[in-house]
Chain A
Amino acid sequence: MSALLQIEDLRVTFNTRYGPVTALDSVSLSVNAGETLGVVGESGCGKSITALSVMGLIPSPPGKIAGGAIRLAGEDLTQASEARMRALRGAEMAMIFQEPMTSLNPVFTVGDQIAEAIMLHQKVSADQAFRDAVALLDRVGIPSPDRRARDYPHQLSGGMRQRVMIAMAVSCRPRVLIADEPTTALDVTVQAQIFDLLNEIQRDFGAAIILITHDMGAISEMADRVAVMYAGRVIEQGRADDVLDLPQHPYTRGLISCIPALGKGEDTLREIPGVVPPLHMLGAGCAFADRCAHRAPRCDSEKPLLQAHGHHPVACHAVAEGRI
């Protein structure tokens, strides 16, 4: 049986002043109903572009999907018409963004905005939609929801705004919910509340969640499976336990060991030297080669492919050759 959402060999290119660059290359991911897929990686590795591709929201031009398929319950979204995508967005799949203030319209009350989202996809009266909106606000844990529904976005705190975004996103019970760094702008105590809420919502109606983050801790607490991205490619993918406890790719290993842990106060952190290469300077080999301690000549000439190794797939020559 194939997964609810399946991304196959997705390739996305952007036209930039350096010429066309490949922002995503051979990205394959899948997520099942009721499951949370965590996507991690450094800034600029293509997490948001992956999410936007699924939603059909790649800014085009300069961007375009240059290959591959995105299947939602079997239907290839890269081939779907814009009208079809509009019908799917919000109803079958929804997205929560990092900065809730900029994704809410400042001139309408939050209740009206949620009601509007409901009426886009369901044939209900405006009154009914507003009542539903209030119920949703209650569901996402906003105190005195009937009063808050009449507030404007700027009257709410960051955490409440993110709850409103979640209420709007789940208003039509989408089957896929994409959360792109939903808590980066929030405090840890509020982040914990939002994570708990996402988990409850998933339990309620079995949505598939894609959680994009750069925080390994968040992945550990939230995800069933993890995909680690680097420079536009998935370099390691597997069950959260496998990837976090037995990381194979040198980058994933580095990423995990350079987090200052809460539980212990060690002296020096392991660090990954260097920086991510810009997309227009990617060569023929492994994008991580410059920063990697296991680099061999082959790493500079041939891109490692994602291949099953041990418990889970990883894209590294050194792992494939049994050098690490």
Chain B
Amino acid sequence: MTTLLDVRDLTVQFALPRQGFFGPRPMLEAVRQVSFSLEQGRALGIVGESGSGKTTTAMATIRLVEAAGGQVMFQGEDLLQLDDEAMRQRRRDVQLIFQDPYSSLNPRARVADIVREPMDLMEIGTPEERRARVTELFRLVGLRPDQLNLFPHQFSGGQRQRISIARALTTNPKLLVCDEPVSALDVAIQAQILNLLARLKAELGLSYLFISHDLGVVRHVCDDVAVMYLGKIVEMAPRDALFDAPQHPYTQALLSAAPSLARRKSRGYVRPVKISGDPPSPINPPKGCAFADRCPKAQDVCRKVQPVLEPIGPSRVACHFPG
């Protein structure tokens, strides 16, 4: 297996508005030294609470958000070092699907043009070939060619997500970043899209960087899972290890909080791990473990020393008291 993507110490900072007229600009560190790698043909899931930096990590990886530091080795080449034109050319290999099927398609363009646009921009093929490819992609994602000339608002949410997927596939990318691709869809429609993504992965050998807050979805789609908390990866493991033997207390809390059909009120289900409160502010992250304030296992050392990712079995966990 070849490594497609190798991210090292990726860091992203956002400058916030000045405090007062002459005050300093506080920095928000949305992604703090995140490292992960992704093999060709596999799917890496990123889960975590809202604001934990999932989207920012993914966007910085494909340079849609500027990184403050780190390396993104894509097929042996550091994307962060490319000049603008070289990066523009690279975009054919890294594509993106958004969460919101309503806001990610230009409402004033016909869907055939939306799907064809990447080929126009990259100057791939003749006009005839481009048109044929659009029709082929439409079939591939389960849309009808007679819908080619419609506008986005004439489609349902699930169909729009199929259009985004078709657009992302136009240039034969190697990596597809999916940012909550099914969160805005009803479960029945969600299943259609998840099956489509699974089929494309198998047929086209795509690799996914797959962001979701739905653990069931991640378990279904991903081969490996990274759990983020306040801009850091706190646990990273192959799928089954993560779901069957979560090591980090936050992962455990997340798993026990996710609603599941197996837990019945009638059977007197009571949640085993309860955590209270909200995550701390990313503007002044705590010195020690970011989860310490909410963690049932926290000790003094947790508040003082920041844990780093250490291997435990197949997993890598950043916790002083894992397991």
Contacts and interface: CB of A to CB of B under 8 A. Distances in A.
Interface of A: 36, 42-43, 141, 143, 157-160, 187-193, 195-196, 214-218, 220-224, 239-241, 244, 254-256, 258-263, 265-273, 275
B258 interface: yes
16 contacts: A159-B278, A188-B259, A189-B253, A217-B258, A217-B259, A244-B264, A256-B261, A258-B190, A261-B219, A261-B260, A261-B261, A262-B219, A263-B260, A263-B262, A269-B195, A270-B191
A241 B266 contact: yes
Given A187-B49, A187-B213, A275-B158, A262 B278 contact: no
Contact of B264 (A42, A192, A240, A255): A240
A254 B190 CA distance: 12
B198 to A, nearest CB: 7
Interface string B240-266: 100100000000011111111111111
B194 A259 contact: no
- Which of B216, B254, B256 lies at the interface centre, i.e. has the most chain A CB atoms within 10 A of its CB? B216
A261 B213 CA distance: 14
A220 B194 contact: no
* In the A-B complex, the 9 residue pairs with the closest CB atoms: A217-B259, A260-B220, A258-B191, A192-B257, A271-B191, A272-B188, A260-B216, A269-B191, A42-B186
Contact of B269 (A143, A190, A216, A221): A221
B18 interface: no
A262 B186 contact: no
Nearest to B218: A260
A148 to B, nearest CB: 13
A324 to B, nearest CB: 18
Contacts of A240: 264-266
Given A189-B253, A224-B265, A262 B276 contact: no
A272 B49 CA distance: 29
B38 to A, nearest CB: 19
- Which of B158, B159, B187, B213 lies at the interface centre, i.e. has the most chain A CB atoms within 10 A of its CB? B187
B158 A265 contact: no
In which size bucket is the chain B interface? 35 or more
Contacts of B257: 188-189, 191-192
Contacts of B274: 192-193, 196
A262 B255 contact: yes
Nearest to A143: B277
B50 interface: yes
Contacts of B278: 157, 159-160, 190
A39 B318 CA distance: 40
Contact of A262 (B213, B260, B264, B265): B260
B198 A42 contact: no
B239 A220 contact: no
Interface in B175-224: 186-192, 194-195, 198, 213-217, 219-221
B195 A221 contact: no
Contact of A222 (B254, B262, B265): B265
A47 to B, nearest CB: 12
Contacts of B198: 267-268
A247 B215 CA distance: 24
B111 to A, nearest CB: 17
Contacts of B253: 189
A260 B194 contact: yes
Nearest to B255: A262
B126 to A, nearest CB: 36
A265 B43 CA distance: 14
Contacts of A275: 156, 158-159, 189
A188 B188 contact: no
A143 B50 CA distance: 21
Contacts of A159: 278
Nearest to A272: B188
A1 to B, nearest CB: 22
Given A191-B257, A224-B265, 11 more contacts: A42-B187, A143-B277, A192-B256, A220-B259, A220-B263, A240-B264, A260-B219, A263-B262, A268-B198, A271-B195, A275-B158
